Structure 1
């Protein structure tokens, strides 16, 4: 019987209906992914401190100081101008205890969250940072004295990189990992898990008040922990604002903001935190001198530490550099970033003979032209600022004395070398951008961390000499080498005693989340990257039966206690060892014979 015309039309239109259905389903899927992504960022707002308003003018202190006569409060001020930012009440031991308790309670719930939930919080935080770069940079500049460009590079860029990396790769670092087995245990499956530690702590330095505070928070909460962050009293004002940003992201996503706690205290109270038995891990960013005290304090509770200390980072310049202008620009940026207050800043430029004579006349006019000042008071009608303020003038006399001593020993001071009295900001803390050359390894300035805007040049007679000079201090944090010959670059990279090396670049390892940390007197432990996340986790080793219904570990009769025959037990043990680990087939066969008793 012939088909009716209507049936024919239906059959011919069927492929079109299928295509329409597929397109419709794909559209629904794409819409769901774009507009209903469960990990999508949530918008939120944080009140900005009044000091961030462009028209704010604070009282200029006659004697800028953290301490106030007759008060225990921390007096916060802008080091670039001496303007009062406000007073912060320091935490007490009881206050620290309460903060830890709140974090513990929040962490018990947070530890049960999925990675997707944690990514959502970080996505939310990332969105906020990207949308609020101006106030964040302004707060960092006000409290630490750096320029806006320095804040963008050293505060914002590296923070959003850490957020993006953790969002994209963090769960892979913390997912259970299979491990190989051996012949004797071939019926077992091995696994390592990384689980939350509980509540961790971070004592961070003042030179990067935004990034140094957020970095430990990002890693800690993604690993399932609560965290107590002790910011420096030098940047107590901005620490409160920056902490509220991270807590706001938690709250916006429906989580307890008490997971993150901020404490600011005087040094005399800090040991209560660093020795606290409820702290499972401690990250410290600061000086060698303080690190000794922190490590001793943490040892009282056997708390694991990651210590990121100072450095005397060297940039080695080989004679075959073929892009000298690029290298000079990199040296300038690496030396004067944040007015030299950079743990991985370039503290020594070690040059081979040919490049040494070329680079001095290139560096000198640039350094002479650098303009110190307050970034937040520069606009289209006022001078551009190249170098910001120092956090304090307390270390200026030490740097001046080291420079003067080096000059008496044969070094040449070509630019700067002393405190700078800014005509517009007489209460600000400024050190003149400095160039000192002909420095020898036996001069004290060659091995002392300056943390100041000082470009220091040393001459090396050969590659071997350059490496020896670079390795000749107690420090071993970062380093860099510039040149063209791959073999020479690899040799220097291999022989440098440092935790990190950048080849033909400066500190690029920090912008890609490689593990960060040093050797020798620059500390131990690593943060950033997979190693950093795993260091904030409790490692748990698990072994289980591969085929539980077929085979399980059983103690052979001759080895069961009490022993029936000690010699037979011994022979069986030897047989197990030789069968499982014999280096030749004959030894393994001998092991089998001992096992079965023949």
Structure 2
């Protein structure tokens, strides 16, 4: 006889593992596959929505081993002394010349907006199937040409290919695919509960219909030349609008190529290219654009000083605006975080991606005292190993690229020096970097600044550069107080082992977005994105990003059953003009209010009886 020793504790543990794996992995995976391949991906029943192969040439400047002539001081600038009506594009990492572009004149802006308005008249009638096909065509082209597209973004912004892949391509593909999968549902008429009145509720249905505004605009920043440009275009076109995008003068070369990519897709699907227009100019002509009566909406991404001018100009035509400004995003590290090494990886990525030029980049790490020293020790070891350069030109491994220009180097150095003078410790960096291969390139050393407190300028002013700032808090309450102490309120993160504590902190943070035990995933998840306080107002992204580009039209109608029997709303005789009997009219209206809103049944019944008598 074989003896069998059953260890029920082991069996229960194995059962727990299998159950957790099934619920946490298998079921979500099955649901994902269903959503991806049975609800949104083209099949034999919706071939019209399938992507069409797109041919669009990659520019020579983005190809490997390209050797363009370098600019040297004082010519390393977008505005040259020789030609004040043109914009000079160059690579910030290598100062290689990319081309000169004539500024869009005011007359050209008029014509572009006029063409966009004409094209939108037919586009607003397009089906969601056509709109999905357009987005799928773009998504497929981006997927099939990831490296080339990344190189275009890198050449004009100075970032690394990895940063371009994560911050440009991945988030753009996410926005495209999310819009394809969920955009139609978001824009369907929204059935509402209707009136709370008992009588009116029996008679009326209510809904909100989303109709495109017409010609919308986006004024976008330079830090993500692909994503910042394509994001507004995706939402505008899918919601039935035309769009005029004003790109930054810092990235005209890549913006023109990316808009050309969209035009190529429109041509391939025989859709009018005039739906998407690109404007670029210097600030003196930007006011004309933002005050243009042909624009029905403006989305602005940029700085607070420029936002004041945009809003002032837009107010002339009462053009509605969504304003997304800077941030001073914090990460709160609680004392029960177990894996500080893993956390340090998130902090490094959130701080140094795109050389810190990220509106939701990590600007402050607020660490509870118990784990402060251990975290600083890990960061000190890692930051010093970061390597700078242009990875699309060098064979070496590169961690961080260049900044877009050197016009903020003096200010960043001043912020670091102010902090050190007030007691902060500078462990790495703190100054501009002279690259041995690209001495004219715009490089700033990866910087680690610790023991920072709220009295220092760098704790309150946006850096928008590669500076990892670490602050110490006595406890979680103090960490929240520090986080809320600045004027910005764009995004935050909170890390801790106790989810309920993290959730409580999230509720206390004064910002438009919070990630719990993660960084910036609120943006990837296509939630409404925007800040509070001095970080702006309004939302773009997700469902709100689509419906925000529409006129929300409220429509009330008789219920179908009433329409079927020919019952229509009419003015009852007691309150019809001219009033025949004031006392009877008053009795009718007061009984109508009681019947509609009183919770006492006997009062309601009594009011119905009085209504039947015409208010008498």
1:466 aligns with 2:476: no
1:56 aligns with 2:60: no
**Which residue is equivalent to 2:6?**
none
**Which residue is equivalent to 1:117?**
130
2:361 to 345, 350, 371: 345
1:496 aligns with 2:509: yes
**Which residue is equivalent to 2:145?**
132
Distance 1:177 1:67 in 2: 49
**Which residue is equivalent to 1:455?**
468
Deviation, 1:256, is: 0.6
Distance 2:604 2:308 in 1: 52
Distance 1:299 1:473 in 2: 28
1:180 aligns with 2:193: yes
Q: Deviations over 1:407-436 (max 9, x none)?
A: 111111111111111111111001110011
1:68 aligns with 2:80: yes
Distance 2:265 2:78 in 1: 31
1:282 aligns with 2:298: yes
Distance 2:606 2:298 in 1: 52
1:393 aligns with 2:406: yes
**Which residue is equivalent to 1:363?**
379
Contact 1:578 1:590 in 2 (8 A): no
Contact 1:187 1:551 in 2 (8 A): no
Q: Deviations over 1:132-172 (max 9, x none)?
A: 11121111101111000000000000000000000111000
**Which residue is equivalent to 2:184?**
171
Deviation, 1:594, is: 4.9
1:151 to 164, 177, 193: 164
Deviation, 1:570, is: 2.2
2:338 to 309, 314, 322: 322
1:258 aligns with 2:274: yes
**Which residue is equivalent to 2:113?**
100
Q: Deviations over 1:366-404 (max 9, x none)?
A: 10110111121122xxx2110110111111111111111
Deviation, 1:306, is: 0.9
Query: What is the Cα-based RMSD across aligned positions, in Å?
Result: 1.4
Deviation, 1:53, is: 2.2
**Which residue is equivalent to 1:40?**
50
Distance 1:70 1:443 in 2: 41
Contact 2:63 2:151 in 1 (8 A): no
Unaligned runs of 5+ in 1: 1-31
Unaligned runs of 5+ in 2: 1-41
Distance 2:103 2:148 in 1: 24
Distance 1:554 1:322 in 2: 69
The aligned runs of 1:192-591 (5 Å cut-off) are 192-379=208-395, 383-546=396-559, 547-548=562-563, 549-591=565-607
Distance 1:505 1:70 in 2: 49
Distance 1:588 1:268 in 2: 66
Distance 1:378 1:581 in 2: 74
TM-score (norm 2): 0.90
Deviation, 1:362, is: 0.1
Distance 1:533 1:77 in 2: 34
Q: Deviations over 1:229-261 (max 9, x none)?
A: 111000011010000111111111111111111
Q: Deviations over 1:34-65 (max 9, x none)?
A: 59811111112122222122232111111210
Runs of 4+ in structure 1 deviating by more than 6 angstroms, as ranges, are none
Q: Which moved more, 1:170-179 or 1:33-42?
A: 33-42
